[in-house]
């Protein structure tokens, strides 16, 4: 059942001494993510894919720098979302108006680039030929993680264009307009699932765990004892690549910068990237580069809770 926070409770939560929501800063977000992907690519088993992802994120950075100023938020929308504990601008119903132009510009920038796998050429042509309604339909499929095999390769490109629009719009919001959405495991701005969570360092957010939205890059606080998928406080454990074969589960070496947080209640896992271990970790980049950990988790009872926006896989996800 949905629990709606009462005004008194909201005030109490607003007086916590660290930010409950960290809105994205697209100017640095994409730049730092691209740099991280390049850093992780060196000597990596999937170096070519990470370099392609880095190039994709660089294109996002260029497009974000010239993205149109988002329309101001309607006060009624903020009030209604706050009253009902719902995400402010649910992604599927609020696709960024200019996202088709962003996608076409992204395709134009990347077409023929040496970092782009040759096999993607037909995907570029296919996407370039779609009209706006067809692209909107595809965007909604991608956001719902409901993609057919034939559209799999297009998904990261679609998601990259959407992320530019969603992050730009989220960046223009005021934190006071961002509701306490229920469940707390979805983005309070756009309602999408987090790609991973991140333990932040520095400033007021230091030492706190945030879930990082796969679509708009908003981060929202969640205490570490809770599962980021079902909010259970029982049976949350960690598993790292270096703990392979360790028994019993949950005796993770917490010095690893990327750990899989597993939950005995909902039988899913989602990664936690730790800035205390490596200040340059990025939730999207490090999740992508830690694919070995996903392979390891594939042999366990835990299913991946949600996908990485820059990698489309056929593997069924937890629901």
Residue of the chain from 61, 163, 197, 218 that contacts Zn ion (CB under 5 A)? 218
The CB-of-217 to Zn ion minimum distance in angstroms stands at: 7
DSSP 8-state assignment for residue 74: P
Per CB under 5 A, 229 contacts Zn ion: yes
Residue 319 near residue 146, CB atoms below 8 Å: no
Per CB under 5 A, 263 contacts Zn ion: yes
Per CB under 5 A, 230 contacts Zn ion: yes
Per CB under 5 A, 186 contacts Zn ion: no
Per CB under 5 A, 40 contacts Zn ion: no
**In this complex, which beta carbon is closest to Zn ion, that of residue 215 or of residue 273?**
215
Give the integer Cα–Cα distance in Å for 131 and 100: 9
Per CB under 5 A, 190 contacts Zn ion: yes
Sole window of 24-32, 124-132, 138-146, 187-195 interacting with Zn ion (rule: CB under 5 A): 187-195
Per CB under 5 A, 193 contacts Zn ion: no
Residue 231 near residue 184, CB atoms below 8 Å: yes
The CB-of-283 to Zn ion minimum distance in angstroms stands at: 12
Residue 83: name the closest of 194, 2, 197 by CA: 2
Per CB under 5 A, 185 contacts Zn ion: no
Give the integer Cα–Cα distance in Å for 164 and 182: 25
Residue of the chain from 106, 120, 227, 285 that contacts Zn ion (CB under 5 A)? 227
Per CB under 5 A, 318 contacts Zn ion: no
Is the bond leading into 29 cis (omega within 30 degrees of zero)? no
Give the integer Cα–Cα distance in Å for 302 and 175: 34
Residue 212 near residue 196, CB atoms below 8 Å: yes
Q: Beta-strand (E) ranges in 124-204? A: 194-199
Per CB under 5 A, 266 contacts Zn ion: yes
The CB-of-316 to Zn ion minimum distance in angstroms stands at: 17
The CB-of-265 to Zn ion minimum distance in angstroms stands at: 5
Residue 10: name the closest of 239, 253, 175, 248 by CA: 175
146's enclosing H/E stretch is none
Give the integer Cα–Cα distance in Å for 173 and 7: 21
For residue 278, the tally of other CB atoms under 10 A from its CB is: 15
The CB-of-144 to Zn ion minimum distance in angstroms stands at: 14
Largest separation between any pair of C-alpha atoms in the chain: 57
The CB-of-307 to Zn ion minimum distance in angstroms stands at: 14
Per CB under 5 A, 222 contacts Zn ion: no
Residue 36: name the closest of 17, 13, 61, 68 by CA: 61
Phi, psi of 172 (to 5 degrees): -85, -5
Per CB under 5 A, 281 contacts Zn ion: no
Residue of the chain from 213, 272, 293, 311 that contacts Zn ion (CB under 5 A)? 213
Per CB under 5 A, 195 contacts Zn ion: no
Site for Zn ion in 83-122 (CB under 5 A): none
**In this complex, which beta carbon is closest to Zn ion, that of residue 147 or of residue 192?**
192
**In this complex, which beta carbon is closest to Zn ion, that of residue 126 or of residue 237?**
237
Per CB under 5 A, 141 contacts Zn ion: no
Give the integer Cα–Cα distance in Å for 189 and 184: 11
Per CB under 5 A, 187 contacts Zn ion: yes
Residues of this chain that bind Zn ion (CB under 5 A) = 187, 189-190, 192, 213, 215-216, 218, 227, 229-230, 232, 263, 265-266
């Amino acid at each position: 059942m949905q629990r709606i926070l009462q005004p008194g409770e909201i005030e109490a939560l607003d007086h916590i001494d660290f930010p409950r929501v960290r809105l994205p800063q697209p100017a640095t977000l994409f730049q730092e993510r691209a740099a991280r992907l390049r850093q992780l690519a060196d000597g990596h088993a999937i170096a070519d894919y990470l370099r392609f992802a880095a190039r994709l994120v660089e294109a996002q950075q260029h497009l974000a720098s010239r993205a149109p100023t988002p329309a101001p938020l309607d006060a009624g929308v903020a009030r209604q979302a706050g009253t009902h504990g719902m995400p402010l601008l649910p992604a599927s119903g609020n696709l960024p108006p200019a996202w088709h132009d962003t996608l076409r510009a992204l395709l134009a920038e990347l077409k023929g680039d040496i970092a782009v796998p040759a096999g993607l050429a037909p995907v570029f042509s296919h996407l370039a030929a779609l009209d706006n309604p067809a692209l909107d339909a595809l965007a909604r499929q991608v956001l719902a993680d409901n993609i057919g095999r034939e559209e799999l390769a297009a998904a990261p490109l679609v998601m990259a264009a959407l992320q530019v629009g969603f992050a730009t719009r989220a960046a223009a919001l005021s934190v006071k307009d961002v509701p306490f959405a229920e469940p707390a495991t979805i983005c309070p701005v756009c309602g999408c699932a987090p790609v991973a969570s991140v333990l932040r360092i520095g400033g007021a957010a230091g030492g706190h765990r945030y879930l990082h939205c796969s679509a708009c890059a908003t981060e929202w606080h969640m205490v570490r004892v809770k599962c980021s998928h079902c909010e259970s406080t029982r049976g949350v454990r960690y598993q790292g690549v270096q703990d392979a074969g360790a028994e019993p589960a949950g005796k993770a070496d917490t010095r690893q910068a990327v750990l899989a947080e597993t939950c005995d209640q909902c039988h899913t896992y989602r990664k936690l990237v730790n800035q205390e271990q490596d200040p340059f970790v990025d939730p999207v980049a490090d999740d992508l580069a830690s694919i070995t950990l996903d392979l390891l988790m594939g042999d366990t009872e835990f299913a991946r809770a949600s996908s990485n926006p820059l990698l489309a896989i056929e593997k069924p996800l937890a629901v």
